[in-house]
A and B are shown apart, each in its own frame.
Chain A
Amino acid sequence: MFTNNIRFAIRNILKNKVNLYINVFGFAFSIAVFLLISIYLIHENSFDKYHIKADNIYRLIDSENNSSKIDYRVSEILRTNFPEVNNSCIVQIGSQAISIAHENNGLFINNIMSVDNRFFEIFSIPFLDGKSVNPLPTINSAVISESVAKMIFGTENPIGKEILLRNNLPLIVSGVINDFPKNSSMKADLIVNAENDNFKFSFTCGDYNDKKSHRYPVNIYLEVNENADVSLLMKKINNHSNLFQPYVKSFDVISLEKMYLEDTSIGADTLKGNPYLLNLMLTIAIIILSLAIINYINLSLARQSKLNKQSGIKKIIGASRTDIVLSFLIESVLVTTLAFFVGIILLVIGLPIFNDIVKNSLNINVLLQFPYSIILVLFILLFGLFSGIVPAILISSFQPINMLGRASITRRKSPFRNALTVFQFSVSITLIFCITVIYKQISFVKHKNIGFEKEQLLRIDGSFIENSNSSNALLLLGKFKQFHGINNVSLTNGAPGKITNHLGFGVEGKDQLASIIYVDSTFLQTFKIKQIIGRDLLDSDIGKACMINKKAYEYLGWNNLENKRFNNGRPSGYEVIGVVDDFNFASLYQPIEPLCIIFQSTNKQYINVSIAKGKLQETMAYINTAWTEVFPYYPLKYQFYDDWVDLMFRNEEKLAKTVGLFALLAICISSIGILGLAIFTTENSKKEIGIRKVYGAKVKQLIVMLNLDYIKWVVVSIIIAFPIGWLVMEDWLEDFTYRTEISWWVFALAGVTALGIALFTVSFQSYKAAVANPVDSLRNE
């Protein structure tokens, strides 16, 4: 019986081609999306789990400040006082690009990691060359990644060779490691010894002269004994907080396995995933699957009169209810299996596109690995069963005699089917709505006036320039100033988007830190920043004076600048000679904070170049040549400020693109389903249309009549979708300091688009049915 059931199912499937195509493609699309998202989720959830001891590794958090930055000395205190702590290590990952060179081979690397030797005991770092025990024997040892080794040394053996860091710091290569895998939240091309003072990346102090107040904050990782209960251990540690004075008052930990997605602490050097995007993707996957299932159910129900007859006959012949249900399930599982293979093809085509969007290199192979392959097969089965079960139960429960005709065939749809259609439309409309708001927000922030002229303003990275060749920086500056395509040049330490310095105002009762940027005399002109209070800058002010932004002025509560000083940074502080209008120098996600602009002539970290309108190309060419003349061994690294602003919204753009892509797919899947419905309903209403035509109905009237069915439901869907979309987007917009409004036209756009898509999908069917010769349709009955 089973084989016969399969045979009949295949027969049934092949006899209804339209149905087959619609279901297979609907399913295939959604399966492809589901697999795609699965691959992504698997990847994102696999972070850091490759470390053999991953289960037992934790990062320490200063719970008072919710900060992962803790003085390095805490590591040893923990290790020596708590037997449950098997091992601990310190890790810092530098965030600035840094140059390394061997002889004449130089390059910039983005990730430099500073660790102690215990790091290699806790984490699984496979060595290609060199010792894996104590791999950093001296404070000048360095471990490099395979790819950096290849680029600098080619085929030479790097071990024992010297590399020059930042042009002035010689290191000896003591090991070569595999590149960190993609799913590692800590990555480095160069690992150096944290005991070297040069590699204590951050430093804070209350008073520089008071050595006791010096702190070197790092990330600390613990390897906890397998048998230890971590929450108990933390209690114990917190009960002995006196041991950690004066560094930390209370501790918390986050496990290595959760670090990538769940860490909310500040000051972690590791990569962080985007759980919001992940949840969103999961939601989308589920929505898209349900859309496809709804299509299947809807189409089955649209064919109900046909299926009813078949099932009715089978029952009369002696099929039991189980037989009927089974035949439906076999059919749906067959359809999903077929769709699965088409889906795989779509996935292979779609994966590179998706990779491009999420800037990732996901691989389809994970699905073939052990637990996932089984889950996948089960999933396909379940998916098929789930799609088949609703029509099966509905149809098999009828009395056979009611299934054989009598119930007349009309255009009228069942409330259940209407609800499903409304659900599909609502999802599509909500997605269109959201995507419009997201793009509106991105465009709003991108076009916001950020307080300085970001167009054609370039920031060249000069952070490698040491005092030894700072004259070269001035040489370059001179060349730039002469070139006709360059309006202005300014040398700065720190720049918008790159401010790392913070100082107190030195004003009593005002202990908020101000961001500090060191600039030369041409800064304001180069960035076109408006001064609103105070006098012009004089040559004699360099090294002695500063300006503050409006925000700082307001914060300090000053009414004028008479005898006002910024009492920090150098022994006598700086005279405040002016106030500039606020401009965005940090993330556009945060409101503008107090800023102090200090004028000095020794800056060389960034060379900011304002390029004249219409001369971009020749100027860039000139900058390149000039650069190579002055710094032949260093690649030119630069960024336009407008790109900086754009990049800030990379996450949002990723989100927009992702939502956009999936919205498109969701709309496609829904449209496929609605098209199917239209085909079947017009098919079923042929007789009605025929009769109406015989009695004089015009084609136009018939089309309107048929389309009205759908328009009605689109309108209902709009009423459902708008409040949902509005709530979701209001919630999303809340996180933005600068946020757009959800204007009326967003609603209009979403509504009209949905209506347009629905009409476009069904009109052709309506038209075909309306112009058909009534004689044909009536004879067929």
Chain B
Amino acid sequence: MIKLKNLEKYYTNKFVKTFVLRNINLEIREGEFLSVMGPSGSGKSTLLNIIGMLDTPSSGEYFFYDEPVHKKSEKQLTELHRNHIGFVFQSYHLIDELTVYENIEMPLLYQKVKAGERKGRVAEILDRFNMVAKKDLFPNQLSGGQQQLAAIGRAIIGNPKLILADEPTGNLHTDQGKEIMELLKKLNQEGTTIIQVTHSAENAKYGNRIIKLSDGWIEE
């Protein structure tokens, strides 16, 4: 599904090149649950963002379903975001101005899903996450865990093939964190490929493969 070849990422600042990722070669097959670990600043988020096509590598190649990502147009990338990739962030990134319901519904709007079907699918998600009572609340009226649930709901409602989660439990209580991890595991079992970044060895174990980044190098 994902193939990274000699991928590098660096920032140039006043003629000094600072490498964040170096010589990354990585293959991820469909159905995997990959945990990325490593010290702070080692480039985990950067790697995830590149995989999520939110950021571009400085050199090297990236194939998504055997197609070169670096050759894709903005339009094609939008299409991939719309239909294939879901994101979960440490700080949730819900839209403050919209209710839980509207936040979850949003991806379906961009997928041009019909109103009737949208309703059904949002209801299903709310039901599954036990959030029906909260559907009309705004993000700032929810607890962190509830916000992350909504964010995951939003990430999966479009039935993506790939979910990228950057420290999804980083801001959460252990119990809430556990709940989220269980959820991700279940999604993986249902067939979704998941890549998560985490600091916790315990959470990493939810995955079926762990890679470690240090100073931009992969140590598997």
Contacts and interface: CB of A to CB of B under 8 A. Distances in A.
A350 to B, nearest CB: 34
Interface in B25-48: none
A7 B94 CA distance: 17
Given A401-B49, A405-B91, A316 B109 contact: no
Interface string A306-338: 000110111111111101000000000000000
A8 B158 contact: no
Given A12-B97, A313-B93, A401-B49, A321 B54 contact: no
B49 A318 contact: no
A11 interface: yes
Interface in B74-92: 74-75, 78-79, 81-83, 87, 89, 91
Given A1-B109, A404-B93, A317 B78 contact: no
Given A4-B109, A318-B158, A320-B75, A11 B87 contact: no
Nearest to A319: B110
Contact of A318 (B52, B81, B94, B96): B81
A705 B1 CA distance: 54
Contacts of B94: 313
Nearest to B155: A317
Given A11-B98, A401-B49, A321 B78 contact: yes
Contacts of A323: 110
B115 to A, nearest CB: 9
A15 interface: yes
A15 B81 contact: no
Contacts of B49: 401
A279 interface: no
B74 A318 contact: no
B54 A317 contact: no
A321 B94 CA distance: 19
Interface in B96-143: 96-98, 102, 106-107, 109-112
A312 B89 CA distance: 13
Contacts of A404: 89, 93
Nearest to A7: B102
Contact of A321 (B74, B109, B158): B74
A130 interface: no
Contacts of A1: 109-110, 112
Contacts of B158: 318
A306 B102 CA distance: 18
Interface in A443-501: none
A318 B82 contact: yes
B219 to A, nearest CB: 25
Nearest to B151: A313
A304 B109 CA distance: 24
A303 to B, nearest CB: 12
A399 B54 contact: yes
B95 interface: yes
B97 A317 contact: no
Given A401-B49, A401-B54, A317 B98 contact: no
A314 B81 CA distance: 10
A310 B96 CA distance: 8
A600 B74 CA distance: 95
B54 A400 contact: yes
B54 A316 contact: yes
Contacts of A310: 95-97
A12 B89 CA distance: 23
A317 B110 contact: yes
B55 interface: yes
B9 interface: no
B171 to A, nearest CB: 13
Contacts of A316: 52, 54, 81, 87, 93
A317 B151 CA distance: 11
B3 interface: no
A317 B55 contact: no
B29 to A, nearest CB: 24
B154 interface: yes
A327 to B, nearest CB: 11
A11 B101 CA distance: 14
B54 A314 contact: no
Contacts of B110: 1, 314, 317-320, 323
A317 B74 contact: no
A318 B106 CA distance: 9
Nearest to B80: A318
B81 A315 contact: yes
B138 to A, nearest CB: 9
Contacts of A321: 74, 78
Residue of A309, A316, A321 with most partner-chain B CB within 10 A = A316
Contacts of A319: 78, 110
A401 B55 contact: yes
A314 B110 CA distance: 9
Interface in A395-421: 399-401, 404-405
Given A1-B109, A15-B97, A317 B154 contact: yes
B88 to A, nearest CB: 11
Nearest to B110: A318
B111 A318 contact: yes
A399 B95 contact: no
Contacts of A312: 93
B90 to A, nearest CB: 10
A471 to B, nearest CB: 89
Contacts of A320: 74-75, 78, 110
A519 to B, nearest CB: 81
A300 to B, nearest CB: 15
Contacts of B106: 314, 317
Contacts of B82: 317-318
Contacts of B93: 309, 312-313, 316, 404
A312 B96 CA distance: 13
A541 B109 CA distance: 102
Nearest to B87: A316
A12 B95 CA distance: 10
A8 B107 contact: no
Contacts of A315: 78, 81
Nearest to B112: A1
Contacts of B87: 316-317
A695 to B, nearest CB: 26
A313 B95 contact: yes
Contacts of A405: 91
Contacts of B83: 318
Nearest to A3: B115
Nearest to B75: A320
A403 to B, nearest CB: 10
Contacts of B154: 317
Residue of A8, A309, A401 with most partner-chain B CB within 10 A = A401
30 contacts: A1-B109, A1-B112, A8-B98, A12-B97, A15-B96, A310-B97, A313-B94, A314-B95, A314-B106, A314-B110, A315-B81, A316-B52, A316-B54, A316-B93, A317-B82, A317-B154, A318-B78, A318-B79, A318-B81, A318-B82, A318-B107, A318-B111, A318-B158, A320-B74, A320-B75, A321-B78, A323-B110, A399-B54, A399-B55, A401-B54
Interface of A: 1, 4, 8, 11-12, 15, 309-310, 312-321, 323, 399-401, 404-405
Interface of B: 49, 52, 54-55, 74-75, 78-79, 81-83, 87, 89, 91, 93-98, 102, 106-107, 109-112, 154, 158
Ranked nearest first, the 3 interchain pairs of A and B with the lowest CB-CB distance are A318-B82, A401-B54, A318-B110
Given A12-B97, A15-B97, A316-B52, 16 more contacts: A4-B109, A8-B102, A310-B97, A315-B78, A315-B81, A317-B81, A317-B82, A317-B107, A317-B154, A318-B79, A318-B82, A320-B74, A320-B78, A320-B110, A399-B55, A404-B93
